[in-house]
Amino acid sequence: MTIGPKMPFLMQTVLKNIDVRGLNNGLAQGIQDMVDFIKSEKIHPVVSRVLQADLDDLAGIDGLFEDMKHGKQFGKLVIEFGKSNNESKL
């Protein structure tokens, strides 16, 4: 957060060792141009698998790392928080 407000962290977040990472890759107009290009060209990433989990689903998250370790994925491995079933996108 180089130009935004500070983000207060709750102690629960700190205790779970959650990393929050930001990216500063250009001016706002450049980012908007990139988003517009992606929309106009209908660019979609290839998604190998979506894990619908919560922060306590360490086994499911470890499974994604195992997929990467063994080269089982073709495309992005995604964690979607707030839902509860796993499905393959292959």
Higher pLDDT, 66 or 16: 66
Residue 57 lies in a domain: yes
Residue 64 lies in a domain: yes
| Angstrom distance (rounded) from CA 58 to CA 68 | 15
Select from 47, 50, 70, 69 the least CA-distant residue to 60: 50
Largest CA distance in the chain: 43
Split into its structural domains, the chain has a count of: 1
Looking at residue 32, the DSSP 8-state letter turns out to be H
Residue with tokens 């499911």: 60
Residue 1 lies in a domain: no
Residue 26 lies in a domain: yes
Q: Is it the case that residue 1 has pLDDT exceeding 80?
A: no
Residue 6 lies in a domain: no
Residue 32 lies in a domain: yes
Span 84-88, average pLDDT? 54
Q: Is it the case that residue 53 has pLDDT exceeding 50?
A: yes
23: containing domain: 11-88
pTM metric for this prediction: 0.48
Higher pLDDT, 81 or 17: 81
